[in-house]
Structure 1
């Protein structure tokens, strides 16, 4: 007897993934205009046209929405950093480009997307997971650059690798961490260039 195939029912309306994206997109625009700290989920719900309960179906809190927005922004920054460091074989140049790209990205966010910068500041202050992943990515990149530099004979090899990479990251942190960067924006590009020169001199064999 032939088996009867029941057609797969077609979903009506947007998928849950689409709705999540819609909420994040609307929240990014709303936070960008009114600020993260001053916005409640109720405000966001009214702006989007959803009920607050419906938003809570997809995100357990305002921070959960902010997490996605923050992760998206940080992913854009890491993608930019990865791109500018990928087309050079010189470890010294990679370090310079990485530092410059990070400072440029942070400064742009502060001056041109100030309200969204507040999300980045909140994420750093409260140690959101997105910030932890971002910092881990940058630390790994620094470690790879130092390792490549040592293998190419550009950098000294006496200091333990982990210690060297961690020290470099700590030296850069005032120009990377959004909470600290806001106090170091005056001449940030010039100062980061000088700091890069100092770091590279300390790495010379």
Structure 2
């Protein structure tokens, strides 16, 4: 997981202050070494050499720090998926890439570090705002592909668009949500292509 300065929650203190970057870097290292649940704000304060009260000037809680790290990971997935979709010319190919690259990117980012994976599971379990926003953006990306396909004549137009978006998102969810993804590991190589084909057949005009 990488860290930048984009936060899903309001930040305390000057947003451009280098201290925020130091806190996130220390948190990422501690979460990676000891796990999210076992790391406290006091641990982070000791690692940086600041007081716990000073850290609270920039983040209101440990969860706020975890949300920032989580949000940055999700942004990485989105960027990779968006780039892959942009390279496809036709809506059906874009949908296939959406399934394939979303799964591959999720696997790589969620499971490259088992300790940091705790952040992802906490985010999914507690429905952090970063996760809610990510799901909303994923649905919007899916909506854009479907609308393009309807305009080009590749996809049917009878089913309400909102219903179609939600249905396909539910099909994709086991390969996007970290809690579900860890139980779908044995099917990640074939499932995205198979599910994409199934969805495309259902979208035929």
TM-score, length-scaled by structure 1: 0.89
Cα distance per residue 1:39-83 (max 9 Å; x no partner): 111112122222211111211110011011111111111111111
Deviations for 1:116-174, whole angstroms, at most 9, x for unmatched residues? Answer: 22111111111111111111100001111111111111111111111111100011111
Runs of at least 5 residues in structure 2 that lack an aligned partner in the other structure = 1-13
Between the two proteins, the alignment pairs up a number of residues equal to 192
Q: CA deviation at 1:110?
A: 3.6
Report if the CA contact (8 A) 1:103-1:189 is conserved.
no
The CA distance in 2 between the partners of 1:204 and 1:106, in whole Å, is 28
In structure 2, the partner of 1:173 is: 173
Corresponding residue for residue 47 of structure 1: 47
Q: What secondary structure is seen at the aligned counterpart in 2 of 1:107?
A: helix
Aligned equivalents of 2:196, 2:190: Cα separation in 1: 10
The answer to which of 45-54 and 121-130 deviates more is: 45-54
TM-score, normalised via structure 2 length: 0.89
Q: Whose Rg is larger? A: 1
1:10 is aligned to none
Partner of 1:36: 36
Unaligned runs of 5+ in 1: 1-13
What is aligned with 1:94? 94
Using the TM superposition, name which of 113-122 and 171-180 deviates more. 113-122
